[in-house]
Chains A and B, each alone.
Chain A
Amino acid sequence: MSAPRTMCKYIVAVVGQPNVGKSTLFNVLTGKVERVGNFPGTTVAMNIGVRVHRGESICFVDLPGIYGLKAVSLDEKIARDFVIWGDWDAVVVLVDVTTGVSGFHLLAQVLQLTKRVVIALTKWDAVQEQGVEVDIEKLKKVFEVPIVTISALKGEGIESLVDAIVALIQVPKSSYEGLHIDYAPLEPFLTALTEAVKQKAKLRNDITLRGVAVLIAMGDEDLAKRFNIDVKHFEEIARARGVVGGDLEEYIASRINMFLEENIGDAIRLRGRLRKAIAIPRLFQNPITGFLTTFAILFSAVFIAFAINTGFPFTALFELLGQSEVASTLESYTISGLVGIAFDYLKSFVHSTLDYSNPVLASFLADGVIEGVSVVTSFIPLILITLVIMSAIEDSGLGPLMAISLHNFFARFGLSGRAVYPMFISLGCNVPGVMASRAAPDDVERFGIVASASFIPCQARLVVMLFFVGYLLAGRPLLQAMTIVLLYLGGVLLYLITAKLFRRAVFRVKSPSELLLEMPGFKVPSLRVVWWNSWALTKHFIIRAGSVLVLLTAVVWSLTNLSFKGFVADPSQSFAAMTGATIGNAIAPLFNLPPEASWKIGFALLAGFIAKENLIATLAVLTSAEEGGKSVELLGITLPQGLALLVFFTYYMPCMATVATIYSETKSLKLTLLVVAYVISTALVISLVTYRIALLCP
Chain B
Amino acid sequence: MPTPLCNVPPNSVATVIQIDAGPGLKTRLLNMGFVNGVKVKVLENRGSHLLVALEGGLGRVVVLSRGIAMKILVDVQG
Contacts and interface: CB of A to CB of B under 8 A. Distances in A.
A102 B54 contact: yes
A609 to B, nearest CB: 39
Contacts of A521: 61
Contacts of A408: 48-49
B37 A100 contact: no
Contacts of A246: 18
Contacts of A360: none
Contacts, number: 128
Contacts of B61: 278, 518-519, 521
Q: Name the residue among A219, A246, A254, A273 with the largest chain B CB count within 10 angstroms.
A: A254
Q: Name the residue among A72, A103, A105, A250 with the largest chain B CB count within 10 angstroms.
A: A250
A517 B43 CA distance: 15
Interface string B6-50: 000000000000110001111111111101111000011010110
Nearest to B38: A257
B58 interface: yes
Contact of B60 (A103, A219, A257): A103
A280 B24 CA distance: 27
* Chain A interface size range: 35 or more
Interface in A230-282: 246, 249-251, 253-254, 256-258, 270-271, 273, 275, 278-280
A171 interface: no
Contacts of A73: 24
A443 interface: no
A273 B44 CA distance: 21
Q: Name the residue among B38, B49, B51, B67 with the largest chain A CB count within 10 angstroms.
A: B49
* Chain B interface size range: 35 or more
A257 B68 contact: no
Q: Give chain B's interface secondary structure class.
A: mixed
A249 B30 contact: yes
A270 B58 contact: yes
A324 interface: no
A411 B36 contact: no
Given A279-B43, A280-B44, A519 B33 contact: no
A258 B37 CA distance: 9
Contacts of B36: 250-251, 253-254, 257
A681 interface: no
A207 to B, nearest CB: 21
A249 B35 CA distance: 10
Contact of B32 (A102, A218, A279, A407): A102
A271 B37 CA distance: 19
Contacts of A250: 18-19, 26, 30, 35-36
Contacts of A103: 59-60
Contact of A518 (B35, B43, B46, B60): B60
Nearest to B65: A515
Nearest to A218: B27
A400 B64 CA distance: 11
Given A99-B60, A250-B36, A515 B54 contact: no
B35 to A, nearest CB: 4
Contacts of B27: 68, 70, 72, 218-219, 249
A514 interface: yes
Q: Name the residue among B26, B28, B33, B44 with the largest chain A CB count within 10 angstroms.
A: B33
A68 B31 contact: yes
Given A280-B63, A519-B61, A67 B28 contact: yes
A38 to B, nearest CB: 23
B32 A280 contact: no
Contacts of A337: none
Given A253-B35, A517-B62, 9 more contacts: A70-B31, A100-B59, A102-B33, A249-B26, A254-B35, A285-B44, A515-B68, A516-B62, A518-B60
Lowest 6 CB-CB distances: which A-B pairs, in order?
A102-B33, A100-B59, A68-B31, A67-B31, A515-B65, A270-B58
27 contacts: A67-B32, A68-B31, A72-B24, A100-B60, A102-B60, A249-B30, A250-B30, A250-B36, A253-B35, A253-B36, A254-B36, A256-B35, A270-B55, A270-B59, A278-B53, A279-B43, A280-B46, A285-B46, A404-B63, A407-B49, A408-B49, A514-B64, A514-B68, A515-B65, A516-B29, A516-B62, A518-B60
Interface of A: 66-68, 70, 72-73, 99-103, 105-106, 218-219, 246, 249-251, 253-254, 256-258, 270-271, 273, 275, 278-280, 285, 287, 400, 404, 407-408, 411, 512, 514-519, 521
